[in-house]
Structure 1
Amino acid sequence: MKTMRFFTTLLMVILCVGLSSCSKDDDEQGTTVSIVGTWSEKPSTEQFNYTFKADGTGVSWTVYNGTKENEEAFTYTFDSKTMKLTIKGADGKSQSGIIEINDKVLRMPDANGGFMTFYKQ
């Protein structure tokens, strides 16, 4: 009986150690997410677009009924570990939020508590 309890305890310890050694960091080794590039919403009557450059600058614009309008330069910072994006407009106002991104899709929080979805061009 003591032998059975010992082996059961030993098995539980091995399982716990084995499972805890598999961390999220192991899964993320070698993968880097880059926000650099041009991202656009799906075409519609009003389409928002962003271009993020590697030097921390960018430009945003809107396309209304096929016409490019409201082009504005900005600066940004992006922390790929926390996924926090901060955009500072030419007027000095900043907006920050946690984004979701992969090599094709960028989801940014909007003012209504939802997300805006952009696609890499």
Structure 2
Amino acid sequence: MKQIKFLTLLLLALSFISLSSCSKDDVVEQDVRDQYVGTWSSTSIGSLTLFQNGQSVITKPVNESGSISITKSGTNALIIDGTSYIVNGTNLSSNPTPVNVNSDGVNIVGTALSNGTLSSNIISLNDAITGTWNETNGASGNLSGNIITTLTR
């Protein structure tokens, strides 16, 4: 009888040990940003309008194509063509980015506010640009514009 009790307790102990030694497999969460890292083709369209004394002086169309590099930063950001975007689900947002351009005697100083959306094969970015401009001959004014960039693989 003692031997049966001992065997029963031994079997129970082995059962508990074998059950407790099994653990759930550790689930490794994949970083959703990984699917966006790499080189993407880009197309940017839009315009930038220069104003002087409240009147439009010139509207410069933007129509550019090329390639853009995307890398990860920190725990929830993507660096897209040098600008850091916070990833929130399928939405992108960035802090205001300074714009400083000097071309053909026109100096542009402004700020770009950017946001965008992510999908598996297309990333859309929208830049709203505001600021000031001046020329070496003394002319100056304000500027504004929008540029939409579409990234594809």
Q: Say whether the fold is shared (TM-score over 0.5).
A: no
* TM bracket, shorter-chain basis: 0.3 to 0.5
What's the TM-score once normalised by structure 1's chain length? 0.40
- The structure that is strand-richer by fraction is 2
- Computing the radius of gyration from Cα coordinates, the structure with the larger value is 2
Larger RCO, structure (CA 8 Å, separation 6 or more) = 2
